[in-house]
Amino acid sequence: MKKLKLEELGRLSIEEFKALDKIPVIIVLDNIRSGMNVGSFFRTADAYACEHIILTGICPKPPHKEINKTAIGADSSMSWSYASSTEEAILQLKEEGYTLASIEQTTESISLRNVGSKSFEKIALVFGNEVDGVSDVAISLSDFCLEIPQYGTKHSLNVSVCGGTVLYELSHFFRSK
């Protein structure tokens, strides 16, 4: 066994990636403060070939030093837009026929493992602020909430780690259909 070199990975060019069929997942970042977290979402969304990212409110926007550091170029490959409020973004996505799922621990959230029990063709996932989580207005507009099963003492993950976990599961969900 040997580690693959960069040129052996068969990476797509930005143009090839943009032409690629994406999984029908839009990521809504609800006032994420850290450029490092935002950049990590760009990189993870690129890795799983997600459709689009919407930055809202106080989210830093490319070009941004911290985004560039963690996105390592995915801010150029990923489609993205900005909305002044999460509510505005969600209402537009609902008009476009997206199912809305907030990633949050609530009294009615379902386990990420059970995402297949819900019926949807395309989904928008709302990820919340590092301190306050997903906003109450976003939760109230969501069709359902998903939570990641956790077994330790914290019951909390860094938002970009949470994003990677959820996007891995949704990528598998859509690619196994």
Write out the two tokens for 40: 């990590």
Domains belonging to the chain, first-starting first, are 14-148+155-175 (3.40.1280.10)
CA angle 54, 170, 63 (to 5 degrees): 30
Give the pLDDT band of residue 6 (cuts 50, 70, 90): confident
Record the pTM. 0.96
**Beta-strand runs (E) in 104-154:** 110-111, 123-127, 144-147
- Give 56's strand partners: 83
Q: Which tens digit of pLDDT belongs to each residue from 7-63?
A: 999 999 999 999 999 999 999 999 999 999 999 999 999 999 999 999 999 999 999
**Cβ distance 90 to 141 under 8 Å?**
yes
